[in-house]
Structure 1
C-alpha cells in the first residue's frame, strides 16, 4: 500500500503542476491574441481572433479553481474511492550479525540495541581533549574510524555474564568499591588507540589507554577499582576517546565520606634491656693531721742577784683533730633502659670522687718576753 500511496500523491502533484502551467499559458495566449486581433482590417477575421482570445482567457480562469481543488481536496477524494487496506507488508527485520572479535566472551544478541546517533554532550562548552601526559603513551599506529559511535555510559558496581549493568544508577554511596562504565559501540577498528579518562571535579584521578582489542561492534566497559579511601565525595565524569576524537561522556555522583585508610602494620622492635655496669666505690683517702710541736721558751737567768718571779708561759691549746666529712654519695644502682632506641654499646663515664681537703688548724707560738728587773744600787 505504500507504493499505491506514493503513486496517488505523485499523480496529484503532477496534475496540479500541469494545471498551473496551462493556466498561465492560456492567460498569456488569450491576451496576446486579443492584441493581435485589434490590428486586423477585416471584420470577420478580427472577430474570429477576438473570440479565440476570450476563450483562452476563460479557460485560464476555469483552470484556477481546478488547481485549487487538486491542491486541497484531490487526495482525500481519491482515498475515499480507494481506501488503504489494513494488510501488513512483510518488512525484513534488522538483525545484528556477529563480527569477528578477539574476545570470544562478547557475543552479539539478536535484539536491537538502541544506539543514539546524538550522544550526550558534556556540561562544559569546551570539547574534551586528551591530556598531553596521556597522549604520549599512545602506541597504536592504526588510523581510527571517525564514524565510530558509542552509546551513553551506564554506571554500576557489577556486570552480568552478558556485560549488562546490574542496577545502573548515577548516585553512589560510600564505600563504592569496583565501578564499571558500560557502553555499546559500532564502527570500531581493531588495534586503534582508545582512551578512558576519569575526572573528579576537573582533576584526572584515573585513566586507561591501549589499542582496541574488541570487535567492530558490541558491548564494552571501562572500570576503576581504587582503594576505598580514594572514593572522595563529589561529581565524577568519564570521557571516552578514539584516537584524539572525543566520543561520549558520562557523569555520576559519590556521596558520603570516604572510609578512613587503615594503617599498615609495621614490625615493632622488641626492647632488650641492657645491664649497666655498676661502678665500684673508690675509698676516699683520709688525711691524717700531724700536729706540730710547740716550742716552749726557757727563761734566761736574771742579772739580779735575787731572781725575780718570771711568769710561767701560757699553755698553748692543743689542736683538735677535725674529722673529714664522710662520703654520703649513694652508690649508683643498676638501671634498666626500657626505651626502643638501639645503641651499639652503652657508654659508662665513671664519676671521679671529689676529695675535699680541709685545712689543718695552724699552731700559733706565743713567745713570752722576759722582764728585766734592774739591780738596786748601793747607796753609801
Structure 2
C-alpha cells in the first residue's frame, strides 16, 4: 500500500517531463517554421560611387541575365534644327490649278475675239472710207463690238494676272510655275505619290540658305527624306521662323497632320551612336548603361542626343562599351535595391 503514492508521483513527474519536452519541441518547430517563411535576402548588387550608382554583375550573372555590350560606333554628323512640318493637302493646289486654267482659257478666248473684232472693224472702216461702200451705222456697230471685245480681253487678262500673282504670293515661284504648267513635279503631288510639306524652323533660327534636304518623321516613327522645293513666301503663324516647302514620298505622311522635321544646320560634329535597343526609360527620361569595368555598369542619361535611323547620335561621346541587350534587367536590379533600402529605413 505504501508503494501507491510513489507510483503516482512517478507518473506525475513523467507527465510533467513530457509536457516540458513537448513545449520545447513546439518552440523549435515554431522557430523553424518562422525561419522558412522569412523572405530570402538577396545580396544587393548596387554600389554608390562618386560618378553615379553602379550595378555589379559578375560574369556568371551577366551570362544568366543575357547581358551584352558593344563598343560605341564613332560617326560624324552635321548639327540639325528641329522644325515643325505640316503635311499640306494637295486639293488647294489642284483648285488653284483649275482656277488658273479657267482664267487662262477665258483670257485666250476673249483675246481671240478681240483680235477678230479688231480686224472686222478695220475692214469695215476701210470700206466706209472707200466712197461709203458700207453705212456709217455698220461702222459704228463694228467699232462698238471691237471696243467691247477689247474691254473683255483686258478684263480677262487682268483676272489671269491676279490668279497668277495670288498663286505666287502664297506658294512661291517654283510651286506656282509647276502648278500652272502642270509639270511632272506637280502631277506627283496631285496623284498622291508625293506630299507637300511646309517646314517651319523655330523663330530666330539662322540659316545661311535653305537646306537642300531634310528628315521627316513618319507616322511609324521612321525617317523620310524630303527634298527642297523653295522657300515659302508665307511664314507659319505658330512658329514664325524661316519656312520652306519640301516634298517627300507620301507613305506614312497623312495630309493634314503635323510632324517633326530636322533641318541640317551648323558644322559637322564627331560623336557616337547609341543604339535604340540600349535605351531604358525611367522618370520620363531615356537612359543607357556603360560598362565601366568588367563587372560594373553605370547608368547615364541620354542628354542632347539627335535621333537618327540607327538610334541616337551624341556629339562628343568618347569610346565606350554600352549595354545593347539586358539594360532593363540592370535597371530593375537598381530599382530593387532602392526599394529594399526604403523598407529598411521604415
TM-score after normalising by structure 1:
0.23
Structure with the bigger percentage of strand? 2
Structure with the bigger RCO (C-alpha within 8 Å, sep 6+) is 2
TM-score after normalising by structure 2:
0.25
Structure with the bigger percentage of helix? 2
**Bigger-Rg structure (1/2):** 1
